[in-house]
Amino acid sequence: MTDHASISSSVAGFDRVTVRYGPLLAADAVTLSVPRGCVYALLGRNGAGKSSLVRCLLGQQKPTAGTALLFGKDAWRTRRSAMQRVGVVPEEPDVPPAMTAAQTVAFCSRLYERWDGTGVAERLRRFDVPTRVPVGRLSKGQKGQLALALALGPQPDLLVLDDPTLGLDVVARKDFYEELVGDLADRGTTVFITTHDLAGVEGIAERVGMLRHGTLVLDEDMEALKARFRRIRFGRRPAAQPAADEALGALGAVRVAGGDWGFEAVVERFGEEPYERFTSEGGVVDPEARAMSLEEIFIAVCGEERGGAS
């Protein structure tokens, strides 16, 4: 579990953050930390509370309870100074639509101490973002690239991306992540990203958190996460059912489905030893364990009500 000390020393973190909108609980005592240099992906279905947490982290919204921290300090109180070191790509492009990209860049360049004007201009040129056209008339992809360029402009220590590829086509998403990966490779920027684009983020995220109805149900390294989740297909003889079920339970089955073709179980505590024990049960026939994608794991964790099925 994330403790208070690790939150305080992290680049970004949440310490028992709760967000309420009247009777609606958007986030329930969420605690997590994003270590320096880490790419942290916060996943959750629509309405899970991701954007509320992002706004809290950016000091734009005061949590109902708890504290969102940036560089170890209360984000609500230190927002202005912290934003010198933070780049933000919002869920929806929020650049004033009447302004051109050039005017927007000029505006932002006056506000940051470490503004990389050359890099911003280079990115905009590379992605053919017109700089003399009002932002309101740019395509969604161009707006996204402009937002990323503006976010990277101050050479941030932390990049906060709130579902940045929402609504982008496949090519634009690919360009976006390539640009992001390039920057990460160059500077090792810490990234906090919320997204529904699980395939896109799977290749770059080092740590994953999953929100379910405002509760953080998962927070661990991507490698460990992928290592402990498996999809197991098997057949079995009816006489051996109790022993097989017990062995499957030891693997942490979160979902079991059956059909004419046999059974399929998603397990969350996969390990060689318990798997050996499961396969060695007399009743289990043709077992096959397969690694799961992040999307599959997300669906298993957040997609439906958890629980086994016989």
Residues that bind other proteins (CB under 8 A): 55, 58-62, 79-81, 83-84, 86, 88, 90, 92, 94-96, 98-99, 103, 107-108, 110-112
Q: How far is the CB of 112 from other proteins (least distance, A)?
A: 7
Q: Which of 62/306 has CB closer to other proteins?
A: 62
Q: State how far the Cα of 39 lies from the Cα of 26, in Å rounded to an integer.
A: 23
Q: CB of 160 within 8 A of CB of 58? A: yes
Q: Which of 7/95 has CB closer to other proteins?
A: 95
Q: State how far the Cα of 299 lies from the Cα of 93, in Å rounded to an integer.
A: 28
CA 214, 217, 223, 228 dihedral sign is negative
Which residue type does 146 have?
Answer: L
Q: CB of 97 within 8 A of CB of 135? A: yes
Measured CA distances, 34 to 4, 42, 47, 174 (Å) = 12, 10, 22, 24
Q: How far is the CB of 111 from other proteins (least distance, A)?
A: 5
Q: State how far the Cα of 226 lies from the Cα of 292, in Å rounded to an integer.
A: 7
Q: How far is the CB of 173 from other proteins (least distance, A)?
A: 22
Q: Which of 4/107 has CB closer to other proteins?
A: 107
Q: How far is the CB of 145 from other proteins (least distance, A)?
A: 16
Q: How far is the CB of 264 from other proteins (least distance, A)?
A: 42
Q: Which of 102/250 has CB closer to other proteins?
A: 102
Helix (H, G, I), strand (E, B) or coil at 297: helix
Non-local CB neighbours of 75 within 8 Å, separated by 6+ positions: 56, 57, 58, 59, 67, 68, 69, 82
Q: How far is the CB of 179 from other proteins (least distance, A)?
A: 19
Q: Which of 60/279 has CB closer to other proteins?
A: 60
Q: Which of 92/169 has CB closer to other proteins?
A: 92
